[in-house]
Amino acid sequence: MAGAFTSAPVSAQDPALNAPSFTPLPAPSLNFYGSPGLLDMPSAEMQPDGQFSVSYSWFGGQARYNLTFQALPWLSASFRYNGIQNLSTTFSTYYDRGFDVRARLWREGRYRPEVTMGLQDFAGTGIYAAEYFVATKQFQAPALGFGGATGRVKLSAGLGWGRLGSYGAIGNIGNRSSFTPGSTGGTLSYDQWFRGDFAPFGGIEWQPNARWGFKLEYSSDAYVAETQDADVFERKSQLNFGAEYQATPRTRLGAYYLYGSEVGVTAQIQLNPFHPVRPMTVPAPLPIVPRSDWAKTEADWSRNWAQSAESRLTLRDQLAQQLEQDGLILESLEIDSTRAEVRFRNPRYRSDALAVGRTARVMSRILPASVETFRMVPVRSGMGLSATEIRRSDLEMLEHDAHAADALVAVAGIGGAAPLPDAALVSPGLYPAFSTSVSPYSAPAYFDPDQPFRLDLGLDFKATYEPAPGWVISSALRQRLWGNVKNGRASNSKLPHVRTDQVEYAQYGTTLENLFVSRYWQPDHNLYARATAGLFESMYGGVSAELLWKPVDSPLALGFEANYVVQRDFDQRFSFRDYKTFTGHASAYYELGGGYQMQLDAGRYLAGDYGGTLSLDRVFDNGWRVGGFFTLTDVSAEDFGEGSFDKGFRFDIPLDWMLGKPSRNSFGLTVRPVQRDGGQRVHMPGRLYGQIRDAHRASLTDQRARMWE
């Protein structure tokens, strides 16, 4: 990968040239809207690819919480939640949500500045709606202070429309209607983009060293709604300035003086999937000992052992014991004198490639010399997901090859797993399996205008019983210990209240979160099936069936899911409400390459509405996932209510990325700007695609680095 390495000081002996490093170059600082820029004005800079930044800004009674993701090197998207005190008489604090998107038009050249086009708050009710073109040029500057790093000056200038064209306009294009608080919003206001007055803005950022930054800008925002229509703050000047300090490599803090009257602050937290909090460290595996070192006589290569059932059972038990050392669970061994297939579960490592590699190593340690062909089959929910076939001689020959990972993948065969043969030696004592856990939980609720963030905290008591491979009986009891979600707003939805009665559900503190039985099986080659019955989630129970077609080496998967669900009573025990419905979808999943995954679902949603959902996610090889989705159904924007249609974004931050040691857990969050009843699906535990894809060819070969780990 070009450009993966940077240079950072390692050795005092060679101050001029440093050893290659993964240390990231400093990221651009953010503005009050969470995009690279000055204070209130943007710059043309882009964040490093994949950057995930969370920022908070406050001035003059206005708070903005921003989340920005650099989806492509030249494209970023932001979500913002903001509160403005005293904006209108109806709300004491006016809250709003908005999305931004920014695209770089061209990079910085020797003389040419970087130029970026931005759409700010382009789909909400549009209080911050603005469009702009901005150019930024960076210059070296004399260093100040210690560290020896040279300083930087960044000059930015741009032209803004909408809010950014409201002061000092120099012309106009067409007309632009004004912002109206309280409209449903949610639709793209493309007929307004780059319309109305436009005005110039600009500024300068000086970073004398790696820690400090000073910013000065001329703002083209007149804050009409805040200072003329209402009395949020008093605007006396268009010049803003301030200072920022890089407190840690991931946090930057700023203090400012804005509009001649107000003090402001920002806090910027920048995460990047490529730069883990701690480098991933896995205990070293045992090296492969080639058979030429220990199988030196004819007798060592004998195949007679295969005749003995007892010796095969001994091998199975030795394998199980050694796999356990690596955190893996042996499901079965199928073996003859020259071939062996090991089926295993992987509860420890996120990467199935790593688990396959460890299994191959264990096989090379245990199995007699005559076994030459190894097949490793990861198993989840009783289903064999793929079969990686590697010749033992290749393992022995390639471990210390200069290009070990590429060489191994080149000679490995990755195909579908055959059904479990009758001759397989199944591990004894795995079934029935019983798991229990007591763990804390947290359940947040967002964006209520009365109180934007509410939280419930408590304990989950979970039990899972697996009577046989592919069968799961699972239940969770939930005891709330503290919480205020129950104080939220009652639903005003015109549709059946399929999701908006969450406050009613939150009235009860001791609940049965779920109780269901699931059966997983593989009806045919490339086909996976699930049937579930019971209480799926806090709001719905019923019956569900799912079928997925996913060849191991295909980027395309097709799925079909049908559910008959009944809405559960608010107390979330065993009773139901009157609402029942059929809901189901046909789904297409496609891997676009480069870690982008697309999913298209079409079908009937919980409120009986018909339509489709499009989701796009960027998935990193270390388990990071950031994506967005929207759903259009035959519910009209008016019936849907605020937001006009269902949309949102989601992210998953792996725990192992933070800890630097193996884990399959992650912090996941799906955020909808508005939770309504249109375009909603039932939350089904154990849907197929996510479990299966990880062990298929694309994922295994993308993570081939880990096969030898």
Partner 1 sequence: MRILPVKWASVLGLALLAGCSQGPDGPTLELEVFQLVQQRVASIGGSAAAAVERPPLTRAALDTVEGPYIEVTVENRDIFAYLSQQLVRRDGSPGEIVVWRTEDNITLALRSGVLVATRGLGDDILSASAPVATGKPGPVTGGARSYQIRGLDNKTQTLVMACSLLDLGPAPVEIVEVTYPTRRIQERCEAQNSLVVNDYWVDSRSGRVWQSRQWAGPTIGYLRIRQLTI
Which residues 98-137 are close enough to bind partner 1 by CB under 8 A? Answer: none
396 binds partner 1, rule: CB under 8 A: yes
CA 687 – CA 685 distance, rounded (Å): 6
Given 145, 347, 413, 419, the residue binding partner 1 (CB under 8 A): 347
* Inter-residue contact 24 to 53 (CB < 8 Å): no
622 binds partner 1, rule: CB under 8 A: yes
180 binds partner 1, rule: CB under 8 A: no
* Inter-residue contact 552 to 416 (CB < 8 Å): yes
CA 674 – CA 605 distance, rounded (Å): 17
Q: By rule CB under 8 A, what count of residues binds partner 1?
A: 91
- Residues 303-332 touching partner 1, rule: CB under 8 A, are 329
Given 177, 183, 314, 437, the residue binding partner 1 (CB under 8 A): 437
Given the DSSP bridges, would you call strands 373-380 and 339-345 parallel, antiparallel or unpaired?
Answer: parallel
Strand partners, 95: 83
Given 1, 25, 299, 309, the residue binding partner 1 (CB under 8 A): 1
25 binds partner 1, rule: CB under 8 A: no
Q: Which stretch binds partner 1 (CB under 8 A): 95-103, 363-371, 566-574, 699-707?
A: 699-707
Best CA proximity match to 200, nearest among 132, 116, 128: 132
- Minimum distance between the CB of residue 18 and partner 1, rounded to whole angstroms? 6
Give the CA-trace dihedral at 339, 344, 349, 350, to 10 degrees: 90
The H or E element containing residue 655 is helix 655-659
- Nearer of residues 145 and 148 to partner 1, judged by Cβ: 148
- 519-558 in b/e burial notation, b at 16+ Cβ within 10 A? bbbbeeeeebbbebebbbbbbbbbebbbbbebebebbebe
CA 53 – CA 278 distance, rounded (Å): 18
CA 356 – CA 346 distance, rounded (Å): 9
- Nearer of residues 116 and 597 to partner 1, judged by Cβ: 597
Given 32, 161, 624, 645, the residue binding partner 1 (CB under 8 A): 624
- Residues 591-620 touching partner 1, rule: CB under 8 A, are 620
What phi, psi does 659 have (nearest 5°)? Answer: -90, -25
- Residues 644-663 touching partner 1, rule: CB under 8 A, are 655, 659-660, 663
CA 374 – CA 497 distance, rounded (Å): 54
- Minimum distance between the CB of residue 504 and partner 1, rounded to whole angstroms? 14
22 binds partner 1, rule: CB under 8 A: yes
Strand partners, 448: 451
435 binds partner 1, rule: CB under 8 A: yes
- Nearer of residues 54 and 433 to partner 1, judged by Cβ: 433
Q: Which stretch binds partner 1 (CB under 8 A): 13-21, 62-70, 223-231, 582-590?
A: 13-21
- Residues 228-287 touching partner 1, rule: CB under 8 A, are 273-275, 278-287
- Nearer of residues 236 and 403 to partner 1, judged by Cβ: 403
Q: Which stretch binds partner 1 (CB under 8 A): 35-43, 93-101, 460-468, 575-583?
A: 460-468
- Residues 348-377 touching partner 1, rule: CB under 8 A, are 348, 351
- Minimum distance between the CB of residue 347 and partner 1, rounded to whole angstroms? 4
403 binds partner 1, rule: CB under 8 A: yes
Given 406, 450, 553, 634, the residue binding partner 1 (CB under 8 A): 406
- Residues 413-432 touching partner 1, rule: CB under 8 A, are 430
CA 121 – CA 69 distance, rounded (Å): 15
- Minimum distance between the CB of residue 351 and partner 1, rounded to whole angstroms? 7
C-alpha distances (whole Å) from 697 to each of 304, 549, 594, 623, 703 are 35, 15, 14, 16, 10
Given 229, 372, 537, 621, the residue binding partner 1 (CB under 8 A): 621
666 binds partner 1, rule: CB under 8 A: yes
The H or E element containing residue 555 is none
Three-state SS sequence of 449-503: CCEEEEEEEEEEEEEEEECCCCEEEEEEEEEEEEECHHHCCCCCCCCCCCCCCHH
Given 4, 25, 299, 309, the residue binding partner 1 (CB under 8 A): 4
- Minimum distance between the CB of residue 264 and partner 1, rounded to whole angstroms? 34
481 binds partner 1, rule: CB under 8 A: yes
Q: Which stretch binds partner 1 (CB under 8 A): 26-34, 124-132, 341-349, 605-613?
A: 341-349
380 binds partner 1, rule: CB under 8 A: no
Tokens at residue 260, please?
A: 């001649």
Q: In sequence order, which ranges of 295-351 are alpha helices (DSSP H)?
A: 309-325
Given 75, 433, 531, 545, the residue binding partner 1 (CB under 8 A): 433
